[in-house]
Amino acid sequence: MDFLLNENSSLKIFYLMKMNKRKGFRSCSVHSINKIRKQKCELNHLYKELHRDPVKFQKYFRMKIDTFDYVLHKIKNKLITNWTNFNKCPINVDEGLAITIRFLTTGSSYKSLGFSFRMGPSTVSKIVVETITAIWEILQPIHMKDPTESTFKEIANEFYLKWNFPNCLGSIDGKHIRVKCPVHSGCKNSYSIVLQAVADANYKFVTIDVGEYGKQSNGGTFKASSLYNLMESGRLNIPPGTTFPSTAITVPYVFIGGEAYPLLRNLLKPYSKNALDAEKEYFNMRLSWARRTVECAFGVISAKFRLLCKPIETSPETAEKIIKAICILHNTIIDKEGFDGCYEEIISKLPNISGTRHNNRPTNSASLVREAYKIFLCKNRI
């Protein structure tokens, strides 16, 4: 081999290139197409023009200019990099946020976005992961605070005013989000990660739990969640029991869930369909109507962040970060813009999902709590 390399310089070059490829080295630092990113990339042409047209900007980024700038301002300090003179064309934080939002809202692959923004797919991947991590870490303490007793009381008050359901701390449900199977996982196509969420009366997420895999029912996923553990241990900051409006009957505050969930002292579920009388059927209808807030929230994030409409082609760990970033962006957009009226059509078309049947034997106290709520709702029909 040494003889051949000394005799033929072209063979030597070929050998060195092959060895570098095996070691993961690239033949050049930046591809020639990407070297003119500042002049030719999609963002450089569009971003300034979109900033002059709020309607087009909102269609492109699925949020208003003020909301985008707000998110950018919040995460900027965490993502600023001290560039060296080796970086001829550094990627700014606003570019990184724009790429990340487009990834979440369109579901485009890293490779496709790389062509649009004139970057390598690995660069796009790194930018997305860094940005979604910063979005969750910075915005979660602001727009999805850990609920306190006073927070829960405010939620319950809004639920009664908007949905006419008393003492409700939030509606709970799970959404299965498809993720492409990792290599050597044994799966054939895709599997799912479960987003377990509680929504308030304004379609915002009060708390989320991400990471359980989709083989379990919603009830099984709930029992494995931190929310269930906090509820059972009394560490969830649920306020003490209170009276029904305009009565002296004291009952616990409750979450509301579908049939798949267990019936607990602080968690209501519908009556079984096997033996329904008129009052139980009316209770089920009222509970189902109030519980639609979480279904609407899931419908909204799927409509806005189209990445959720197909298998997420990342590692499970990155997929979890993506889901959390989407949820906190959803809350941020509602806080900054209000609930957009264009989603009313989505909400009206959502099916009345009651979950799958699940045999959970309720305790006597939980049954009595549900019975009290049934009697109150039936006496206060709307």
pLDDT the model gives residue 36: 46
pLDDT of residue 356: 36
Predicted pLDDT at 285: 94
Q: Are residues 187 and 242 in the same domain?
A: yes
- Same domain? For 87 and 99 the reply is yes
Domain count of the fold of the chain = 2
Q: What is the structure's pLDDT at 40?
A: 54
Least Cα distance to 143 among 206, 56, 68 occurs for 206
Confidence of residue 27 (pLDDT cuts 50, 70, 90): very low
**Confidence class of residue 38 from pLDDT cuts 50, 70 and 90?**
low
Contacts of 231 (CB under 8 A, 6+ apart): 238, 264, 266, 267
Residues 80 and 194 in one domain: no
63/118 same-domain check: yes
**Domain final position from 109, 126, 142:** 142
pLDDT at 342 over 70: no
pLDDT tier at 46 (50, 70, 90 boundaries)?
confident
Kindly state whether residue 197 falls inside one of the protein's structural domains. yes
Mean pLDDT, rounded, for 99-115: 90
Q: Is residue 6 part of a domain?
A: no
**Same structural domain, 133 and 263:** no
Name the band, by pLDDT with cuts 50, 70 and 90, for residue 48.
confident
What pLDDT is attached to residue 184? 61
What's the pLDDT score for residue 90?
66
Domain end marker among 111, 142, 173: 142
Alpha helix stretches (DSSP H) within the chain: 2-7, 9-22, 37-40, 42-51, 54-61, 65-79, 93-106, 110-117, 121-143, 149-163, 218-223, 226-233, 278-304, 316-337, 344-349, 364-379
Does residue 67 form part of some domain? Answer: yes
Between these two residues, 354 and 126, which has the higher pLDDT value?
126
Residue 5 forms part of a structural domain: no
132-157 average pLDDT score: 96
Asked if residue 170 and residue 128 are part of one domain, the reply reads no
The answer to whether 207 and 229 are in contact (CB under 8 A) is no
pLDDT at 86: 47
Both 168 and 184 in a single domain? yes
Q: How confident is the model at residue 220 (pLDDT cuts 50, 70, 90)?
A: confident
Q: Which domain holds residue 249?
A: 145-379
Using the 3D structure, point to which of 142, 167, 194 is the last residue of a domain. 142
Residue 14 located in a structural domain:
no
Indicate if 41 and 168 belong to the same structural domain.
Answer: no
Please check whether residue 167 lies inside any domain of the structure: yes
**Residue 9, domain member (yes or no):** no
pTM score, whole prediction:
0.83
Sequence-separated (6 or more) residues with CB below 8 Å from residue 371: none
In this predicted structure, the answer to whether residue 121 has a pLDDT above a threshold of 60 is yes
